[in-house]
Every structure is written in C-alpha cells, then in structure tokens.
Chains A and B, each alone.
Chain A
Amino acid sequence: MFCSIPGLKLAMPSTPRDAKGLLKTAIRDDDPVFFLESQRLLGFKDPVPPREEEYLIPFGQAEIKRHGDDCTTVALGRALHFALEAAVQLAADGIYCEVIKPRTIRPLDIDTVVASIQTTNYMVVVDQRWPFASLAAEITVPVYERAMDELDNKIIRVNNDDVPAPYAQQIQQEMLPNAPKICEAARQATYA
C-alpha cells in the first residue's frame, strides 16, 4: 500500500547483505525511502562483506540469486528463501529456476526480469502478501507489457492464501507462499 505514493522509494531486503547495502543507499538518498524489513528475517544470519569494505547497493537493481534456463522466479523479501528452497527441489526434477530478487520495489528493475524471460519463457512471482493488489501483480503487469511475446504461458503468482492470517503458528506457515506451492506453480507454468 505504500508503494503507490509517487516519489516515495521502497526497499525490501532479503538478506543481511542487502539490508546493509540498501540502508546505506537509503540514508544517502535525498528522497524519502520506505525500508521494509521482514520481522521474521531479522534473526537470519548470512555473510556480509567486512566493515572496512564500503559497499552500496543502488536502488533499481535486481540481483539474480540463482541462475537457470527453465523458469524465471521473482521473489520478494522473505519469500526469496522459499523460492530458493523450491529451486533446489525443482532442480532435482530437472527444472532449473532462475531466481531473481528485485531488492527495491520503487524503483523496480524490470529489465533484469525481462532479460531472463527471453531465455526461460516462463515466470513465477512469489510474494508474501494476499493475492489481490499484491506487489506480485504490480511486477506481473510490466512484464506482460514488455515481454508478452516471450511468454509461453501465463505468469503464475504465488501469494498467501486469501484468508485472514491464522493465529496458530503451524497454520500460519501453511498459508504462506511456501516451497511446495512454488514448486507446484513452476511445474504448472512450464507445462511439466
């Protein structure tokens, strides 16, 4: 809901390295930046370049976390980890996903996604939000606009189930866009 505001930038890190690089860029940026961190990811540990090494992650630059030729998977925020998990499972079946994390929603790097689709022709978007008017929808539309001729099937979105968030932990995990759901989506997309 914050993304619609013109002029407001929105960053969504998935890893500690993203978080540090994007935060620095956000601070140095003169424009207001919404820095969205997933609560569940706050405890996640991952390598970060040493303190002496100064690095910035520019906005509007997506990162390809895993290369593959069969299906382009775009995953936002925490969903990246589900997507990577799914990619490992799918690789065992011979479906190699190219997993892309946009890192910033405004500005959004669609070019990287479009370039990937030139090779794979299939796309799955994973977003830990309810389906209606989710960010996944906002990523899907520009891809249809720019790369319609490169698609062999419609773009499949994996979101939370369209139910209010359950209170019980276990059920809550079930409604999220978890790895089995992403695997199913990728299989559907690639006519596997």
Chain B
Amino acid sequence: MKTDFKHRIKQAVEDDALRTALSKATTTLRSKRLSALESLPDSDLTRKQARSAKQEVLNNFAYYAESFEQRLLDHGVTVCWAENAESANQHILEIAQRHQVKTVVKSKSMATEETNLNEALEQAKLKVVETDLGEYIVQLAKDRPSHIILPIVHMSRQRVGEVMHDTLGLPYTDDPAELCKHARTKLRSEFLAADMGISGANFGVAETGGICLVTNEGNARLCTSLPRVHVVLMGIEKIVPTMQDLDQVLKVLARSATGQKISTYTTLIHGAAKDGAVGPEHMYVILLDNGRSTLFDSPHADVLACIRCGACLNVCPIYKNIGGHAYGDVYPGPIGSVVTPYIRKQGHWKQLAHACTLCEACHEACPVRIDLPKMLLQLRANNQREEASFIDEMKFKMFANLASCPVLYKFATKCFRSFMNIFHADTWLRKSIFVPKQWTKHRDFKTPASQSFQDWWRERSKDV
C-alpha cells in the first residue's frame, strides 16, 4: 500500500500538465482568498466567531444532533441515522424504492463520494446524473474529482471537449463557454425528468432545522426544487447552532473557498414544499456518522470543525505538486490526510500524514483555525511508534549519542565535510550510492563550505 501511494506521487510529480494546472488554480485561489478576507472589517474576529460556532456544537454534540433532528421532524422531514457508508446508501435505496424513483439528479456532495453512493444506485438500476459541471464531466469520463471545490482541476479544456464529444456525441469544442452551454442544455432535460434530487448540506441549523446549500451554478437549487423527492446526505458534524452562527460561517466559507464574499446561490431549506407551493413533496435527511464519532473520540476531534472550503489544499506545497488523485481517496490535502484513516478505518491511510512539510500554511489558511500540522505530526509519531523497527531505533540512538557528545559531533562533522569535498556537483560520485538518490533526483546537494562557522569564528576572534 505504501508503494501505491509512492507510485501515485511519482506519476503526479512527473505529469507536467497536471502540475501547471494545479499551480495556476491554487495560486489564483490563494490570492483571491486573501483579498476577500480583507473585505471583512475584522477577518480574525469573524474566523474566531466561525470556529466558536462549530466548537459550540462539538462541546455539546449529542444535544445539538438531537435538537437538529427535532426541528427537522417539526418541518415534516423524515430523519434517518446512518452509522456507515453501506447504511447510508441502503437508506437512500429504500427511499428510492418507496417513491418508485427511476432517475436521480445530484448536486455536489463529498459525503456521497465518501459512501460511493452513485455505484450503489447504479447497481440498483437507477439512473444517476451529477449536475455540478465539474462532477458531471467526472461522471462522463468515469474519473474521480481531485479537489473539494474544483473537481476537474486536473483536466485540460481539450480533455473536457474530448469527453463531451465521445460520451454525448456533440461536435468537438474546447471553448469553455460552449462546453458549459452544452452541459446546461443536456442537464436541464435531466433536471426536469428526475424523480429524486440528492444533495449534501454545507450546514444544518440546529435552532430552526434548516439545511443550507451553496453553489455558484444553481444546480443545487434545481436538484432540490424540481424533483418530487429531496434527499439530503449530511455528516453529523455539519451542524451549527443558530442562524446567526450560520451567518458567521457563511462569511468565511466563500471567501476561503473561491474568494467571493458569498456564493452565487445560498439556499436555506426548511422542509418540503408547503401549502400548495411548487416543490418537493417529500424530504429526507440522512445523518451520517461513518467514522465521525470515532474521530470525535480521538485526539483529533477538532478536525470536525472543518467547513470544507478547500483553503488548506490551495496553500499546501504537497497538494500543489501531486494533486488530489495521488492521495487516493475522497478528501485530499492536509484535511484528507487527517480524516481518511478514520473514515476508512484502514491502517494504510496513515501514511498520508507523511506527505507533509509541516510548513503550517494550512493552519494559517484554515478559516476555523484547525491545527492540522499538529495533528499530522501526532499521526506520524503514532505511526513511528507502531512501525519502528529495531534498526530504526538503533539509528536514532546512534545519532542521539553522536549529537549529545560535543567532541564526537565535531569530529563527525569534520569527517563529513572532508568526505563531501571529495566530489562536487557534476561528478559521477554524486549519483553513486554514497549520496542518497532519493534526494539528488529532485534536489541540489551542495557541498559544504570548506570551513565551519565555528572554526571561522574562532579564527576571526583570534585576529581581533
């Protein structure tokens, strides 16, 4: 499994087109986020408010989960609780069966990616159509999204054109506006024909039982207002206490994700259509655990404050170079490296924590200030404790002995310097077994200065 991850990294690092696309996207989103935060009178305070809103729920998790459920029930919404992915998918299949659903339209939901819902629905012979443009292309291409906010950041416009031409039989074009128009027309007919709309939830408001959805395209509005059945799959940690708390988190969500003050469409849903209004006749909310309660019980419970903005991805030097697919699962980047082992319950995902330079950029960028580097370091320490071999232990013991004895240390550095001065950058020796290939393949290995600073200082002091 370790080799799978390394293999995926290697492929990504050697893919120049991918890295160019990632660089462009992440650089643009980074600078937009910073300008957007400046438009707040006190962005630091707003971030604290947002964090405090999420933290309040974590401080009284069961209470808020129950309150939220009760308000949903008051609105006539049917609430189901799913302990894991299979259970969530099963609930949705039962709902589909109950309402004789043949076609489903979906707005973008990472939770449904987590449970692999599409596969489950398709196996039950339902037609499922993703409606977020990026997710639609991913579906047509039988691919996977590679970024929380920009699912096809890894695809060029030519590739998108090819996909739409091959799967929909449309004349080839690589003009984004034309491609978008094609998708609009095709998906409009899907929206009108669908029996069921499935969405995630950006937030759930405990005080009122509201489900908040944000998009720029409008596809979530279409999914949740046209079909006769609306199903929401929502992680239990998405709850915020009140409408005022919702306001605070909304203030930082769009700013951190895309650099907008607010997304184009912010929709707040309270139950199915009422009093003869046009809209869904039935609404269901499925509250998903799938490892979240385990996370809550772990030293990394704070990560449940995440609002899924993707800001950590955009500033991570690792993500920028390897992209989302290399991480191998639904949530990439710093956030993914922490949550994936808990969601998937499999040990091999812990290796993701090692793909980190501990630069703290994610901690700084996170609108709710989750200390991701600290968590990643803890995960790495845990891994080391579990996996350390006798040889590893000996290596560190040897280094510790060397480093804590000044005479030995000085002698070792002198040897090292002389050794390194035997050859410089261009000779064959540099590429030999003497110098680790893993380093020199991608990095410089400068030879040390001929004199150590301490020696130079000593000499200089003598002269003075």
Is B truly associated with A?
Answer: no
Residues of B within 8 A of A (CB): none
